Amino acid sequence: MGDGRAGGANRPAWLQQYELVGKIGEGTYGLVFLARLKPAHPAPGRRGPPIAIKKFKQSKEGDGVSPTAIREIMLLREINHENVVKLVNVHINHADMSLYLAFDYAEHDLYEIIRHHREKLNAPINPYTVKSLLWQLLNGLNYLHSNWIIHRDLKPSNILVMGEGEEHGIIKIADFGLARIYQAPLKALCDNGVVVTIWYRAPELLLGAKHYTSAVDMWAVGCIFAELLTLKPLFQGVEAKNTPNPFQLDQLDKIFKVLGHPTVEKWPTLANLPWWQNDQQHIQGHKYENPGLHNIVHLPQKSPAFDLLSKMLEYDPRKRITAAQALEHEYFRMDPLPGRNALLPSQPGEKIVQYPVRPVDTTTDFEGTTSLQPTQAPSGNAAQGQSVSRSMPRQMPQQPMVGMPRVAAGTNMAAFNAASQAGIAGLNPGNIPMQRGAGGQSHPHQLRRKADQGMMQNPGYPQQKRRF
Amino acid sequence: MAANFWTSSHCKQLLDPEDVELVPAADRERGIMPEEFRLVKIHMSFHIWRLAQQVKVRQRVIATAVTYFRRVYTRKSMSEYDPRLVAPTCLYLASKVEESTVQARLLVFYIKKMCGSDDKYRFEIKDILEMEMKLLEALDYYLVVFHPYRPLLQLLQDAGITDLTQFAWGLVNDTYKMDLILIYPPYMIALACIYIASALKDKDTTSWFEELRVDMNIVKNISMEILDFYDTYKIDPQRGLPDDKISPVLNKLPAKS
Ligand SMILES: Nc1ncnc2c1ncn2[C@@H]1O[C@H](COP(=O)(O)OP(=O)(O)O)[C@@H](O)[C@H]1O
Ligand SMILES: [Mg+2]
């Protein structure tokens, strides 16, 4: 892993293994860069694999490495799945106390793919691609959920899709900054002062549920499924800012309009949810009679696709379909069958959709400082770069953009001795081998002789119901 | 992974006892003997525990912090990584990992309160934040740690001896004064604590252990190690090691820069 010691002029030594291309994203925590790993044996024209480097600034409050970064590292260091983004390295710059996560680079994400269809092609995403993307998303999510991880921030921009190369068209779930291990029930988002996009937020959370389950991720998948079909966010609520609570009336209203009002008959625990109880006239007031989901997504109500979608958008989180169940759904057994490369044309001979590459701001360096002159664009991508004259990408300052060249193959940089993703936890929460049968022979009472010598029992026993 | 010990980084990083007890070269050069190395780790486990009582975190956070602390010294020397700074920083990092963040300034405040007279324990916020990064590096960014507490409760339930919970729980707490968590799977440590507890409290668990089909030799070995530890150190649970035992060892380490 990264060695943060300075390699001259306050530059950490690890920096030398990369060739910075430029900035590709900006968030609240810091910046995301595109770099290339320098090839082991440099030669003209030889280029290393592309790497996305997410930089975390030291938090302003003087509280060290941000908990977001810690969560992301902690989880990604343990997991390994084809449909989860691969953390290939972590680096530290001790000089300015910043932390860098290096990932396999993914050329696309669902946000850009959907936008390309909506704004450039004016055509829906082909059914094979939709189904393959959804299947892979569920496959990655099933892995996470079977490992007791809830993502909590699934939305199109956090779902990456690999560009050309050996992993072309493969989904990678990314952005684990809000993800949690839920061995114990999880506290609600507001308790942690976190704000996430409300459009993909499950109704139980909007109504103030105190605890999380993996069902919140499935709601988000339902919203994303609908968006893949229609190219528009399904529930585009207007966010109420500056409210201390998670209650978002407009978002709920958008959901109710499409799905009809939830009822205590269909969702028994609804009555216990704080905002359902408190805000009678607003939420329980209006009554939307005609649920019109099928009209919005243009699916016959009897079709398997519609059946799956409505099971994902089930109000009661306990009845909502799980990732494992969804993977078994009839929808995935009918033509077109889902495939490994979601971006292939659905029929032989059909034209392949050329999705734009990520715009790269080549004027920003790792420190986030912007140079006046664009740094040299990597050779050989000019043509493609120019074709990327799309409207302003998200969160990007108005600066010269250079497109990334198509990449040859996935990196095989095995920085971690990552486990083969063999065992997914079964239903043995303690993971204790419990086969019964023959076994131990000797008796614990033999230990008695050592008995009453100075024990130093700590009085650290927890109160009842304490979670460990 | 997260819920599966067998595929976790924790499992893969388990070490042989000899590797855990090895005094780092730089410390050996300063004349630190294996027994002294062990004493510092015991002492600092107490330090973490006492500090945790002040800032009020769950037992789990303490356990994770002590595990980090012990893991660091299988890779780094005490001469280079001052244990008096590493200990509170481990608590700081563990509190973030276990979702109950403790502010650095609060830690600094309580360290001052606890060790006010001893300059060598006093650090500034900046020291902790710098050490946090060095710790992440030293831990190779592996932060998920499993503990015996959860399996302990399940096993006690399974054995039908939940009346031993408090006693066995205390034993598990005490195992963090040793390096067991770096060597054995947590559920084996839990079993050893149940083994001891049932022996001392006259509960017949023989047939229950037989049905478990675990390697009883390991369970017994761990149990013996724990009892030997009590035998050897007879430590005051509130105060830890006496100062005249620990100070000479810590004085062998380089002074704060
Ligand atoms: N591995 C990657 N490959 C390509 N682009 C990435 C990668 N990781 C992140 N990005 C880009 O950076 C953006 C922000 O990264 P993300 O991890 O989602 O951080 P945030 O918490 O700010 O949303 C993503 O939406 C995506 O556009
Ligand atoms: Mg994101």
Q: What is the DSSP string of A291-313?
A: --HHHHHT--TTSHHHHHHHHHT
- Give the nearest ligand 1 atom to A25 CA: 12
Pairwise CB contact (< 8 Å): A462 & B58: yes
> What is the pLDDT averaged over residues A167-187?
82
* Range A108-333 classified under CATH 3.30.10.20: no
Give the domain range for residue B196: 149-233
**Ligand 1, closest atom to CA A28?**
22
Residue B247 in domain: no
Taking residues A231-238, report their average pLDDT.
Answer: 95
> Hey, what amino acid is at A20?
L
- Parts of chain A belonging to CATH 1.10.510.10: 108-333
pLDDT band at B122 (very low <50, low <70, confident <90, very high): confident
Distance CA B210, CA B205 (A): 9
Mean pLDDT of the residues in chain B: 93
Domain with CATH 3.30.200.20 in chain A: 13-107+358-387+407-437
- pLDDT score, position A243: 65
pLDDT band at B86 (very low <50, low <70, confident <90, very high): very high
Q: Is A438 exposed, middle or buried (0-12, 13-18, 19+ CB in 10 A)?
A: exposed
Distance CA A52, CA A65 (A): 20
Stretch A26-33: mean pLDDT: 85
Q: Which of A74, A149, A424 sits opposite B97 (nearest CB)?
A: A74
Interchain proximity A429–B150, CB inside 8 Å: yes
Cα–Cα distance between A433 and A442 in angstroms, integer? 20
Q: Which pair of tokens denotes residue B256?
A: 């704060």
Residue B25 and residue B61 in one domain: yes
- Confirm or deny that A55 is annotated as ligand binding: yes
Examine the pLDDT at A436 and tell me if it is beyond 60.
Answer: no
Mark whether B25 and B131 lie in a shared domain: yes
A441 vs B contacts (CB less than 8 Å): 210, 216
What per-residue confidence (pLDDT) applies to A10? 65
Q: Are residues B52 and B99 in the same domain?
A: yes
Q: Kindly indicate the confidence band of residue A178, based on its pLDDT and cuts at 50, 70 and 90.
A: confident
Specify the range with the lowest mean pLDDT, choosing from A55-69, A135-149, B49-63: A55-69
Confidence of residue B239 (pLDDT cuts 50, 70, 90): confident
Count how many Cα atoms sit within 13 Å of the Cα of residue B114 in the half-sphere of its side chain: 23
pLDDT value for A196: 63
pLDDT, residue A84, reads: 98
Q: Is 90 exceeded by the pLDDT of residue B216?
A: yes
Contact A100, A54 (CB under 8 A): yes
The ligand with the least distance to the CA atom of A26 is 1
Mutation for B interface: A77, A151, A191, A428, most B CBs within 10 A: A77
Question: What is the ipTM metric for this complex?
Answer: 0.92
3-state secondary structure of A54: strand
What is residue B89's predicted lDDT score, i.e. its pLDDT?
A: 98
Give the model's pLDDT for residue A440.
38
Query: If pLDDT is split at 50, 70 and 90, which confidence band does A394 have?
Result: very low
Per-residue pLDDT averaged across B88-98, rounded?
Answer: 96
> Does the structure show a pLDDT above 90 at A433?
no
Largest CA distance in chain A: 82
pLDDT (mean) for B12-34 = 96
Q: What is the pLDDT of residues A339-351, one digit of tens each?
A: 999 999 877 778 8
Please tell me the predicted confidence (pLDDT) of residue A282: 65
CB contact at 8 A, B21 and B37: yes
If you measure from the C-alpha of residue A52 to the centroid of ligand 1, how many angstroms do you get, rounded to a whole number?
A: 8
Contact residues of ligand 1, CB 6 A cut-off = A 24-25, 27, 29, 32, 52, 54, 85, 103-106, 109, 157-158, 160, 174-175, 177
Instruction: Tell me which residue has tokens 């067998």.
Output: B6
Considering only CB atoms, which chain B residues are within 8 Å of A55? Answer: none
Final residue of a domain: which of B109, B144, B179?
B144
Nearest listed ligand to the Cα of residue A176: 1
- Token pair belonging to B70: 């012990």
Residue with tokens 């006892």: B17
Instruction: Taking residues A22-39, report their average pLDDT.
Output: 90
Provide the pLDDT for residue B117: 75
**DSSP letters of A308-346?**
HHHHHT-SSTTTSPPHHHHHTSGGGGSSSPP-S-TTS-S
Choose the weakest-confidence range: A5-9, B25-29, B123-127, B199-203. Answer: A5-9
Res B42 pLDDT > 90: yes
Residue of A147, A444, A446 lying closest to B205 (CB–CB): A444
| Whether residue B62 is found in the same domain as residue B27 | yes
Asked whether B27 and B79 are in contact (CB, 8 A), the reply is yes
Query: Which residues in chain B have their CB less than 8 angstroms from residue A455's CB?
Result: 170, 174, 230
CA of A53 to the centre of ligand 2 (A): 13
- Cβ A312 vs Cβ A225: under 8 Å: yes
Report the residue from B101, B130, B195 with minimal CB separation from A67. Answer: B101
Six token digits for residue A351: 């034209």
Is B57 strand, coil or helix?
A: coil
Rounded CA-CA distance A312/A290 in Å is 19
- Whether residue B198 is contained in a domain is answered as yes
- Report the pLDDT value the prediction gives residue A112, as an integer from 0 to 100: 97
Q: Which of A24, A32, A87 to mutate to test the pocket of ligand 1 (most atoms within 8 A of CB)?
A: A32
Interface test with B, best of A147, A148, A456, A464 (most B CBs within 10 A): A456
Instruction: Give domain status of residue B81, yes or no.
Output: yes
Considering the domain architecture, whether residues B67 and B121 belong to the same structural domain is answered as yes
Nearest-by-CA chain A residue for B199:
A445
Please name the member of A437, A442, A456 whose beta carbon is closest to the beta carbon of B235. Answer: A456
C-alpha–C-alpha distance, residues A4 and B34, integer Å: 30
Segment B9-13 mean pLDDT: 95
The C-alpha atoms of residue A246 and residue A210 are separated, in whole angstroms, by 10
* Residue (of A11, A177, A166) closest to A104 by Cα position: A166
pLDDT, tens only, A122-145? 999 999 999 999 999 999 999 999
| Run of H or E residues at B108 | helix B104-115
In the predicted model, is pLDDT for residue B125 greater than 80? yes
User: Among A317-321, A444-448, B5-9, which range has the highest average pLDDT?
Assistant: A317-321
Contact check, Cβ <8 Å, B133/A94: yes
Classify residue A288 by its DSSP letter: -
Contact across the interface for B230 and A430, Cβ inside 8 Å: no
Angle of the B59-72 helix axis to the B149-159 helix axis, nearest 10: 120
B70 and B172 inside one domain = no
DSSP three-state, residue B169: helix
Same domain as B102, residue B39: yes
What pLDDT was estimated at residue A382? 36
Residue A460 has pLDDT above 50, yes or no: no
Asked which of A190-194, A203-207, A312-316 is least confident by mean pLDDT, the reply is A190-194
- Candidate from A65-69, A157-161, A227-231 with smallest mean pLDDT: A65-69
Considering the domain architecture, whether residues B132 and B181 belong to the same structural domain is answered as: no
Question: Per-residue pLDDT for A58 more than 80?
Answer: no
The SS3 assignment for A180 reads strand
* Residue B239 forms part of a structural domain: no
Gap from CA of A161 to ligand 2 centroid (Å) = 14
The residue with greater pLDDT, A276 or A171, is A171
Ligand 1 pocket mutation pick from A68, A160, A171, A355 by most atoms within 8 angstroms of CB: A160
Query: Residue B90: pLDDT above 60?
Result: yes
Active site (catalytic) residues of A: 153
Nearest to A74 among B60, B101, B143 (CB): B143
pLDDT of residue A350: 80
Distance A76 CA to ligand 2 centre (A): 15
pLDDT-derived band of residue A7, with 50, 70 and 90 as boundaries? very low
Provide the pLDDT for residue A244. Answer: 61
Please check whether residue B119 lies inside any domain of the structure: yes
pLDDT score recorded for residue A421: 29
Residue A110: closest CA among A171, A163, A157 = A157
User: In the predicted model, what is the mean pLDDT of chain A?
Assistant: 78
Rounded distance from Cα A7 to ligand 1 centre (Å): 28
Same domain, B35 and B140: yes
**Poorest-pLDDT segment among A96-100, A223-227, A438-442, B243-247:** A438-442
The pLDDT of residue A429: 34
State the pLDDT at residue A30.
Answer: 81
B35 half-sphere exposure, CB direction, 13 A CA radius: 5
What is the predicted pLDDT for the residue at B236? 78
Contact B155 A468 (CB under 8 A): no
At residue A465, the pLDDT reads: 32
Supply the pLDDT for residue A286. 66
Same domain, B140 and B155: no
> Does residue A189 register a pLDDT over 50?
no
Number of domains present in the structure of chain B? 2
Looking at residue A241, what is its pLDDT? 75
Q: Do B180 and B227 share a domain, yes or no?
A: yes
* pLDDT reported for residue A452: 39
Residue B7 to residue A422, Cβ atoms within 8 A: yes
Same domain flag for B221 and B104: no
Spell out which residues of chain B touch residue A75, defining contact as CB-CB under 8 Å. 2, 144
pLDDT band at A390 (very low <50, low <70, confident <90, very high): very low
Q: Taking CB atoms and an 8 Å cutoff, what residues of chain B touch A194?
A: none
Residue-wise pLDDT tens digits, A61-111: 678 999 889 999 999 999 999 999 999 999 999 888 899 999 999 999 999
pLDDT of the residue at B63? 97
Q: Say if domain A13-107+358-387+407-437 classifies as CATH 3.40.50.300.
A: no
Distance separating alpha carbons of residues A215 and A87, to the nearest angstrom: 26
CATH number of domain containing B56: 1.10.472.10
The answer to whether A436 contacts B213, with C-beta atoms less than 8 Å apart, is: yes
Q: Which of B53, B136, B172, B223 to mutate to test the interface with A (most CBs of A within 10 A)?
A: B136
